[in-house]
């Protein structure tokens, strides 16, 4: 099994960090832009797209700053990968960005980046900052 490769993308976003955090850390927030529906039981989140389900474990979160998940499928394969959504505020300009860290197979990185582009674009529409 090839190891997945880590990549990071930054998305400037016009929204307050507190508001953004609600959209990246809660099932109701995530279901507005990340997937069709999200349920959670404790640290276990179930993401639903077009009738298919993927489960992820919440590895860590820091209020107002970041959330980090690991897909259960990756955990079962003992892959040390995760996806993290981090809110970054420039100290001088106060510009807000979302930093997405994710992992993908080498030949799927561009596709994964495009997927995140689409997801964040949906988030911006929901926030009214498109």
Domain limits, the chain:
5-125
Give the list of residues 6+ apart from residue 120 with CB closer than 8 angstroms, or none: 11, 13, 98, 100
pLDDT at 54: 96
CA nearest neighbour of 99 among 4, 6, 8, 7: 8
pLDDT higher than threshold 90 for residue 13: yes
pLDDT at 129: 76
Spatial separation of the C-alpha atoms in residues 123 and 37, rounded to whole Å: 14
pLDDT at 3: 81
Instruction: Give SS3 for 46.
Output: strand
Give the list of residues 6+ apart from residue 21 with CB closer than 8 angstroms, or none: 63, 64, 65, 87
pLDDT at 51: 84
N-term to C-term CA, the chain: 39
Cβ contact 47:26 at 8 Å: no
pLDDT at 130: 61
Band of residue 2 on the pLDDT scale cut at 50, 70, 90: low
CATH architecture, range 5-125: 2-Layer Sandwich (3.30)
Give the pLDDT confidence of 99-122 residue by residue, as tens digits.
999 999 999 999 999 999 999 999
Residue with tokens 């300009």: 93
pLDDT higher than threshold 60 for residue 1: no
Give the pLDDT confidence of 38-88 residue by residue, as tens digits.
999 999 999 999 989 999 999 999 999 999 999 999 999 888 899 999 999
């Amino acid at each position: 099994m090839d190891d997945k490769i880590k990549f990071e993308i930054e998305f400037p976003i016009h929204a307050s960090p507190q508001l953004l955090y609600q959209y990246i850390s809660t099932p109701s927030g995530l279901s507005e832009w990340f997937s069709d529906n999200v349920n959670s039981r404790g640290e276990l989140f179930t993401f639903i797209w077009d009738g298919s389900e993927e489960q992820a474990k919440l590895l860590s979160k820091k209020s107002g700053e970041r959330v980090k998940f690991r897909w259960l499928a990756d955990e079962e394969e003992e892959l040390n990968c995760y996806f993290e959504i981090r809110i970054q505020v420039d100290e001088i300009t106060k510009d807000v960005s979302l930093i997405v860290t994710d992992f993908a197979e080498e030949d799927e990185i561009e596709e994964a980046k495009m997927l995140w582009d689409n997801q964040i674009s949906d988030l911006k529409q929901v926030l009214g900052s498109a």
